[in-house]
Structure 1
Amino acid sequence: MSPVISVDDLHKIFATLDKKGDGLISIDQLKWLLERIGYSASIEELKTLVGRSSTTLDSMDFIFFYDIVVKKNNNNSLSGHDHDGDLVEAFKVFDLNGDGFISCEELENVLLRFGLWDECDGGDCKSMIRKFDTNSDGLLDYDEFRNMMLVSS
């Protein structure tokens, strides 16, 4: 069983890896860290798991990576992982009331819990949802969430 690491610990780990202090770490740094804790994956596997063409992760990406992939994967390899299953699990983290949609309030609540949200007015939260809300209902359904998570940065 994988050890449970707190969000505060994840922020400290991320800050340690973020040598430039620019709020980003590289896929190479992630690979180095994973090798140190006994996980093996190629750079290409990590890019696929992160779900982006970018070779960097911000702290939110790093926390999601840990929570969805590392914490739930109890073997020593990250290959063969169920990516859609990971996205379903991530969606459930945000869908606090279990209605099949992520509202601005739910998104803000989860980001606050992860220590990734400073604003109290929710304005940026609404624009985040609006960007991926293809049916303009003010909510993210699973498909919209999946598109958001897989979008290239």
Structure 2
Amino acid sequence: MSSPLGLKDLRRVFDNLDKNGDGLLSTEELNWLLNMIGHIHSLEELESSIGKSSVDFHEFLIFYNSISDKSNGSIAIGEEADSRENIELETDQEDDLFQAFKVFDLNGDGFISTEELQSVLSRLGMWDERSGRDCGRMINAYDTNRDGLLDFLEFKHMMLFTVS
């Protein structure tokens, strides 16, 4: 089972699909994405299900929520009046976490290795041979897929549960 996409990831997907930059995804653009992930619909079915010929980012999030698993970590977007404010707060937090992630992801491959963690902690004066810190154990504590690396969602989980 794959991890649900985070808000930053969804924003990137939306922006990449919005070829003309108008802030809207047409049913054609949305249908292309759905076909790529195995949800085959005709344009007529898709337009009928969303009730319009294009969606803005907020509507895209609601649509994503309707087709994604409702597992832990998924974005819960309600129809409440304050949902746009919640999205803005989540976006700011997500952006901050992504910027922090990029500091640790030294080679830019989208993962934090034990060596990268050790290097950054060392530069920050938070790690040396005598410190007793084991970067491998730090990563393993939050490495949910056990690949020896932290992806952004694992890093986010680590930051939200160790900082809070």
TM-score, normalisation: structure 1: 0.48
TM-score, normalisation: structure 2: 0.45
Q: Which has the higher contact order (CA 8 A, sep 6+)?
A: 1
